[in-house]
């Protein structure tokens, strides 16, 4: 077996490159300076999410818990912050302010061709470390559905999609400062 000097020299160099690359990525991701979700949590250690009360004119049972849990799960999955039940370095609180369906387009026979299902959540985000990043904002998303369908037939699927988008919007406003 003949050893190729070129392969012997290049192998350690390539290995060293990949080892240093992996160490660098681990350090940047693990220390809270940068995460691959784009979330910036520099200087933060804890996050808290208070229960989102449902103050919408039409109250859907379980929606408050669903939104609260979805935001907690998002923060746990995409940041290195520790979740606490009290008040963290960053804190989310808010209310569900709207939950409705309205006609969005009308057909030739004066009935709704499509309906628009909307959920709005008013959020107060407090950053104790960098107060200038705190905000109060209403996040609202909607999905249109066929006017021939009853809301109850599509409500679960549409709610899931809308809540996912709202939680993403809240998270991005709080942590993705591009």
- CATH ID of 41-175, from 3.30.160.150, 3.40.1010.10, 1.10.1200.10, 3.40.50.970: 3.30.160.150
Alpha carbon distance, N-terminus to C-terminus of the chain? 55
* Dihedral sign computed on CA atoms, order 119, 122, 126, 131: positive
Give every CB contact of residue 107 below 8 A, 6+ residues apart in sequence. 113, 147
Concatenated DSSP letters of 67-90: HHHHHHHHHHHH--PEE-SS--SE
Q: How far apart are CA 29 and CA 51, in angstroms?
A: 29
Instruction: With cut-offs at 50, 70 and 90, classify the pLDDT of residue 35.
Output: very low
3-state secondary structure of 97: strand
Domain ranges within the chain, ordered by starting residue: 1-30, 41-175
What global pTM score does this model have?
Answer: 0.76
Identify the residue with better confidence: 6 or 177: 177
For the stretch 112-163, pLDDT in tens is 789 999 999 999 999 999 999 999 999 999 999 998 898 999 999 999 999 9
Q: How far apart are CA 30 and CA 15, in angstroms?
A: 22
Q: Which two tokens stand for residue 85?
A: 């039940």
Q: How far apart are CA 58 and CA 100, in angstroms?
A: 7
For the stretch 64-99, pLDDT in tens is 999 999 999 999 999 999 999 999 999 999 999 999
Q: Hey, how many other C-beta atoms are within 10 angstroms of the C-beta on 88?
A: 21
């Amino acid at each position: 077996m003949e050893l190729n000097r070129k392969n012997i020299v290049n192998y350690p160099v390539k290995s060293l490159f990949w080892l240093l690359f992996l160490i660098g990525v681990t350090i940047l991701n693990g220390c809270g300076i940068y995460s691959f979700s784009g979330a910036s949590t520099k200087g933060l250690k804890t996050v808290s999410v208070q229960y989102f009360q449902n103050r919408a004119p039409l109250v859907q049972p379980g929606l408050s818990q669903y939104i609260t849990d979805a935001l907690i799960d998002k923060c746990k999955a995409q940041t290195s912050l520790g979740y606490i039940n009290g008040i963290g370095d960053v804190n989310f609180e808010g209310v569900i302010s709207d939950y409705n369906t309205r006609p969005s387009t009308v057909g030739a026979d004066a009935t709704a061709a499509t309906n628009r299902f909307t959920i709005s959540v008013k959020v107060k985000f407090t950053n104790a470390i960098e107060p200038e990043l705190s905000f109060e904002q209403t996040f609202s998303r909607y999905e249109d559905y066929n006017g021939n369908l009853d809301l109850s037939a599509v409500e679960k699927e549409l709610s899931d999609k809308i809540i996912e988008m709202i939680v993403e919007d809240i998270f991005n406003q709080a942590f993705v400062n591009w």
